[in-house]
Structure 1
Amino acid sequence: MSSNMISAEGKKRLQARYDELWEIERPRMVKNMADAAAEGDRSENAEYIYSKKRLREIDRELKHLGDRLKVVKVVYPPLNPTTVTFGCWVTYEDEEGEERCYQLVGPDEFDVNQGKISVDSPVGKALLGKKVDDEVVIRRPAGDLFVTILDISSTRPRK
């Protein structure tokens, strides 16, 4: 079960994706299907078959996005956090002295390459509620990882 928390920016991105699919992608596929159907035999018409398949994919994604947009709640991070909460940036150091910095976000907006991890992930769950200097055990399939929280911030720290 995933949480329904999302940042204001994340909700805007979900809505933009929904709007793009509904207003641009779906009408284009419907037109492609109609054009391909007008050519005759649909059973051997690759464009018709592709458009029909793509339309089903678009409709599936629209349903998913629509369902999520109905239940997500925008949550704003505290301005001066003292504990790890949704939206905070957390810097920690592992056993080898390597530092990592992540922002805790909702499941609809995580992107590890941008330093955004889900509050529902094992790392996110382990960090929630912790404070600076707390030692945290992150349970992973590869084995437990022991980290120490170095910083908690409402904005991304500069490198």
Structure 2
Amino acid sequence: MNKVPLTVTGAKKLREELDELKSVVRPRIIKAIAEAREHGDLKENAEYHAAREQQSFAEGRIAEIEGKLSNAQIIDVTKLDANGKVVFGATVEIEELESGETVTYQIVGEDEADIKAGRISVGSPIARALIGKEAEDVVIVKAPGGDIEYEILSIQYI
């Protein structure tokens, strides 16, 4: 199976969620199931069925996170020798040449991407255009509405 790139921060967040699910959520659900069983007939016990549904969701999420972490290639961008090039995990400030609008993005794994927080997937058109380029390079991003030109203003490895 292919390794999936993940930043150190992304891996930490997944581990925290996994810990929360195993140490807080799972015991709470088990307690809720036990309490619902005490009420008697399980066929018509809505509390029991709701608790079982929560358990199914939580166990599914635990398995999903464990799978992601086991297939993750955790990349610490602060330890990379990128030679001033845009690489996975880099934070890049770019300017759209036509409008003059500047934006800053960190290039992250698919599971970490959050455009509102300024994190874009390494597989996105913008990230693919930026990878391997240097500050002051002009890149052309093939977007559905046409080609967009950006200039790389700065690259940070934080």
Q: Fold match, TM over 0.5?
A: yes
Q: What SS does structure 1 have at the residue aligned with 2:140?
A: strand
Identity value in percent: 35
How high is the TM-score relative to the length of structure 2? 0.87
Quickly say closer, same or farther: Cα 1:56–1:142, change in 2 above 3 A.
farther
Matched, 1:58 2:58: yes
- Say which is worse superposed, 30-39 or 3-12, in terms of deviation: 3-12
Q: Partner residue of 2:128?
A: 125
Q: Which residue of 1 aligns with 2:156?
A: 153
The runs of 4+ residues in structure 1 deviating greater than 6 Å are none
Alpha-carbon contact 2:3-2:73 (below 8 Å) kept: no
Q: CA deviation at 1:83?
A: 0.9
CA RMSD, aligned part only? 2.0
Equivalent runs, 1:1-150 vs 2, <5 Å: 4-77=4-77, 78=80, 81-94=83-96, 95-150=98-153
Rounded to whole Å, the distance in 2 between the matches of 1:39 and 1:118 is 48
In the aligned structure 2, how far is the partner of 1:18 from the partner of 1:143? 41
- Structure number with higher strand proportion: 2
Give the TM-score taking structure 1 as reference length. Answer: 0.87
Pair 30,64 (structure 1): closer, same or farther in 2 beyond 3 Å: same
